[in-house]
Structure 1
Amino acid sequence: MNMEESQTRKRKRRKPKKKRAFKIIMGIIVLLILGVGAYAYSVWHSVEKTFTQTHEPLKRDVSEKRSEKVSFSDKDPISILLLGVDQRAGDRGRSDSLILMTVNPKDQSMKMVSIPRDTRTEIVGKGTTDKINHAYAFGGVDMAVNTVEKFLDVPVDYYVQVNMESFKDIVDAVGGVTVNNDLDFNYDGYSFKKGKLTLDGKEALAYSRMRKEDPRGDFGRQLRQRQIIEGVIEEGASVQSLANYGNILDAIGTNVRTNLTFDDMKQIQSNYKDARHNVEQLQVDGQGEKINGIYYYAVSDATRQELSAKLKDHLNVK
């Protein structure tokens, strides 16, 4: 059995725990939306300026899978696509992390679907079938949103994109993070020993990227990513970090893009925040396969339809 097949079987067996569910992009959305209310009144103009900078609308106003735009004041259920993009100088990059989050404020619940980046599907607007994370490389966030919509057959109302290459700036802005490492490894010129580690931004980025040396593969990397973002949230809530809010806002303004406006975020913070206490992870079951020597993660139509039905019910759409 090769490593890819082993990882696929582990993926099918392993059920993520709710308390450990927050991946790196989820942490960013918490910082962006749910955390805005904590200090918005004292630094209102700086916060507003930052989130004006992060605003980048999609080419469309409303998803074709909706008859009208959602209303925050009416507490309509919403969906948000979270993209972690590995973007470097001179390269648009690929969406290394794809998570669709649905939020229903009326029953105060959230569902999260982490889509494996190697998932084989139609790339909407490209006319090809490829790995789903290639959609961003081919056509940016618009193509990524449209492709995820087609794959899951649900509307994607909003997106939040984070540049993972520059995520180190956010870590440095909160003064570094502390993690408990469970695996000795070397990566990108750094040596990470077992035990409690305090990492600066560059070290944290390397720590969260390693995959091939970990016998757990992508699962191990996802664990380290969650550790980093949990550390960011913990440090970001400290008095010292609040005193350093200027650098934190600068880092967010540089590294985050979203079609949510500042007013949208205020309304979500006001009307949707209680949903964060009830988070359910939905798993995309599938199996690895090779086509022309290239590895893909294959998801059956039946699995997609079952997952789609759960999301549609949560979003109150047909």
Structure 2
Amino acid sequence: MNITKRSKIIMILLILLIVISSFIIYKIIHFNNAIQDSQHSKQTVATQHKIKAQKPISIAIFGVDSDATRAKTHTGQRTDTIVIASINPQNEKTELISVPRDTYSEIPGIEGHEKMAHAYAYGGPKLAMESLRQNLNVPIDGYMTVDMDGFQQLIDLCDGVTVTSNATFNYNGSNFKEGKKVTLSGDKALDYVRSRKETGAGGDEGRTARQRQVIEALGKKLNQSNSLITLNRILKVTENNVQTNLSLGDLKSLYSNYKPALKNMHKATIDGENLIEDDGIWYFEANEDDKSVKINNYKNNLK
């Protein structure tokens, strides 16, 4: 792995885990290589200008399940987690909104209504970002995608993560009891964060809370990983399981100039209810009043 690519992967790890969990993996101060991409879309160039000028930005974070072919083409991947983050270095605040994957949505270019998670399967991060813009009426400047298999591998590298179960339920043969502390291996952690429809699992809200628990626990464990061998393995796993349209320069600027905002996060989930629509499919229908309040808070943080 060349130094430039290694540096970018390190920055992805730093920013991703700061954005989601506010924990820094480990301290890396010196970077001597910059990355220069020869081609950028107008949107990416505009995002670079925003970051360089230290203006507020909006980023989408996707957690996906995929195999090697799906990951390579960005198509067919199932989005298990959708989070948007407005990061404002001026007021030093980040607004996070977890978007339920089953949200009743209109996907550009697709007839009728679909679940929000389907946008990534149909058209990768580009269509997923456009769907978020259209359905939530928010700007999206960039994205990060994390394959959930990568989380499993990282957790195993750290000898598991410890959480206190927020619910009593069974998933895929794994039993969890509310209030009980348990150390999870990588595969058990995925069982814990994937559950939502099982009796007692608490639907999307319960699953979102569990995902946050595991990510924060993983962040703490990674921060304690001082072994060079372990760090190199972490970098390799990240290289294979994280994609972003942000350059190394963008990531370095986010880490250096947006850090106070990234450490001061306000987390929200859009409220609503599960309903069967005319097509006979279950969807999550957002409470419009709650959605309006949370989206306004999000957009106000971009001013």
Shorter chain as normaliser: what TM range? 0.7 to 0.9
**Displacement, 1:308?**
4.2
Other-structure match for 1:204:
189
2:275 is matched with 289
TM-score w.r.t. length of structure 2: 0.79
Unaligned runs of 5+ in 2: 1-14, 71-75
Which residue does 1:106 correspond to in 2? 90
Structure 2: distance between partners of 1:221 and 1:58: 38
Mapped contact 1:160–1:259 kept (Cα < 8 A): yes
1:187 aligns with 2:171: yes
Size of the alignment, in residue pairs?
A: 281
- Report the alpha carbon displacement of residue 113 of structure 1 after superposing the two structures with TM: 1.4
Which residue, out of 62, 68, 71, partners 2:43?
62
Q: Which residue of 2 aligns with 1:15?
A: none
Change (3 A) 1:232 1:67: closer
TM-score normalised to structure 1 length: 0.76
Secondary structure, aligned partner of 1:123: coil
In the aligned structure 2, how far is the partner of 1:31 from the partner of 1:116? Answer: 16
Q: Which residue of 2 aligns with 1:153?
A: 137
Distance 1:297 1:197, change over 3 A: closer
Q: Could you say what secondary structure the match of 1:139 adopts?
A: helix
Q: Residues 226, 312 of structure 1: CA spacing in aligned structure 2 closer, same or farther, 3 A cutoff?
A: closer
Distance 2:67 2:292 in 1: 36
The alpha-carbon deviation at position 122 of structure 1 amounts to 1.2
How far apart are 1:135 and its partner, in Å?
0.5
Post-superposition CA distance 1:108-134 (Å, at most 9, x none): 011111111111121013243211111
Matches within 5 A, 1:1-318: 28=17, 30=19, 35=24, 38-41=27-30, 60-62=41-43, 70-88=49-67, 92-192=76-176, 195-211=180-196, 212-240=198-226, 244-291=230-277, 292-299=279-286, 306-316=293-303
User: What are the superposed Cα offsets for residues 155-210 of structure 1, whole Å, 9 maximum, x if unpaired?
Assistant: 11110101113321111222321222355544324444663322221222122222
Contact 2:166/2:210 (8 A) holds in 1? no
Report the RMSD for the aligned CA atoms in angstroms.
3.4
Deviation string 1:258-300 (CA, Å, 9 cap, x unpaired) is: 1111111111111100013432234424343322221122236
Seq. identity, %: 33
Q: Can you give the 5+ residue segments of structure 1 that lack an aligned partner in the other structure? A: 1-25
Q: CA deviation at 1:32?
A: 11
Alpha-carbon distance between aligned partners in 2 of 1:229 and 1:56, rounded to the nearest angstrom: 30
